[in-house]
Amino acid sequence: MTKTLITNGTIVTAADTYKADVLVDDEKVAMIGKGLKAAGAKRIDATAKYVIPGGIDVHTHMELPFGGTFASDDFHTGTVAAAFGGTTSIVDFAVQGMGEPLETARDAWLKKARGKASIDYGLHMIVRDVTDKVLKEMDVMVKEGVSSFKLFMAYPGVFQVDDGSIFKAISRTAENGGLICMHAENGGVIDVLVKRALAAKHTEPKWHALTRPPEAEGEATNRAFRLAEMAGGIPLYIVHLSSSQALEQVRLFRDRGLPAYAETCPQYLFLSIDNYDEPGFDGAKYVMSPPLRERWHQDELWKGLARNDLQVVSTDHCPFCMKEGYQGLPKQKQLGIGDFSK
């Protein structure tokens, strides 16, 4: 057992801020008090420093395969960066290959993480094809510790699943105790808007946002909660909520007493659609889905957090480099020069 004594820090908890010492025994906080003594403990002087609980980032994508390349952080670099920022746990997303058993995807992600991560980690599972076999596998995943399943209402042909499949998966979580996490954007409409924009030679990064309107997020959020309602009022969690239109739906269902939950991310609280206008190709730095919104959405999201309509802030950490490629693969953000949809 290793003991650590953190002395003279300013402790910040959910309820209070005060000066005291913290004794950590192995990985658990054993005692908080003034003038604590612990023989043989490793001592850390936290004078003039805050001592806060470690952050949990429930939405990260280390080494995510996407668009012919991979997110540039792996479980080593990503978790070291997280630790420097005070985040001590992440929940990353394993991705099911088409037709692949969920177990295979989970094991592949555990392999990416094992021996590399410098903080704690857990996994969600991105489910891409919801067959009867996969529904049964979900039960096993829940028993073995992967209890949340992300489905997509966008990216047709890549990630998108239809409403029937979503309904089946939600119903299954009612039985096995899992939770569906939804990427809520109307992929069909977005696909049409993207094709129209490209046909009209609108290729700049800003069009990524203009072809993924907040209404597409609002509509899908509503549909997701309706499907959960039809399945019997089953809990459902919207990931990376970015717009007032989507938040309105969360509030609507919560006000009706339904178990509707959502997270937002710092980028939606601090950045806006104006960032796509940065000079040259710099707007590509902000290409993410859902995209950045008009500035007024930020106020609504902050209110959503204050009123607990949004319960979680996560990062959706999924970095791609502006210039470099990934281990010999084509360059990352530059793939989007001349076509915002890449």
User: Which residues of this chain interact with Zn ion, rule CB under 5 A?
Assistant: 316
Task: Name which of 137 and 316 has its Cβ closer to Zn ion.
Answer: 316
Q: Which is nearer to Zn ion, 204 or 316 (CB)?
A: 316
> CA-CA-CA-CA torsion for 175, 90, 107, 28, nearest 10 degrees?
-90
DSSP character for 325? B
Tokens of 196: 């129209």
Nearer of residues 21 and 316 to Zn ion, judged by Cβ: 316
Name the minimum Å distance from CB 214 to Zn ion: 18
Q: What does the DSSP 8-state code read for residue 165?
A: H
Peptide bond into 319 cis (omega under 30): no
Give Cβ neighbours of residue 72 (< 8 Å, ≥ 6 apart).
319, 320, 321, 324, 326, 332
- By beta-carbon proximity to Zn ion, the closer residue of 135 and 182 is 182
Nearer to Zn ion, 217 or 316 (CB): 316
Nearest Cα to Cα of residue 216 among 253, 181, 176, 184: 184
Structure tokens at 266: 């710092």
Minimum CB distance to Zn ion, residue 315 (Å): 9
At its nearest, how many Å lie between Zn ion and the CB of residue 319? 12
CB of 298 within 8 A of CB of 269? yes
Prior bond of 213 cis (ω within 30°): no
Considering the complex, state which of residue 309 and residue 316 has its C-beta at the smaller distance from Zn ion.
Answer: 316
For the bound state, the minimum distance from the C-beta of residue 57 to Zn ion, rounded and expressed in Å, comes to 11
Distance in angstroms (rounded) separating the CA atoms of residues 100 and 79 = 27
Q: How far is the CB of 68 from Zn ion (least distance, A)?
A: 18
Structure tokens at 292: 């950045």
| Minimum CB distance to Zn ion, residue 19 (Å) | 39
Q: Which amino acid, one-letter code, is at 52?
A: I
Which residue's Cβ has the minimum distance to Zn ion?
A: 316
Strand 28-33 relative to strand 17-25, pairing: antiparallel
Residue 183 Cβ vs Zn ion, minimum distance, rounded to whole Å: 7
C-beta of 189: minimal distance to Zn ion in Å?
Answer: 20
If the CB atoms of residues 185 and 316 are measured against Zn ion, the closer one turns out to be: 316
Q: Closest Cα to residue 103, out of 74, 127, 73? A: 127
CA angle (155 as vertex; 202, 328 as ends), nearest 5: 80
- Take residue 161 and report the two structure tokens written for it: 């699943």
| Closer residue to Zn ion in complex, CB, 24/169 | 169
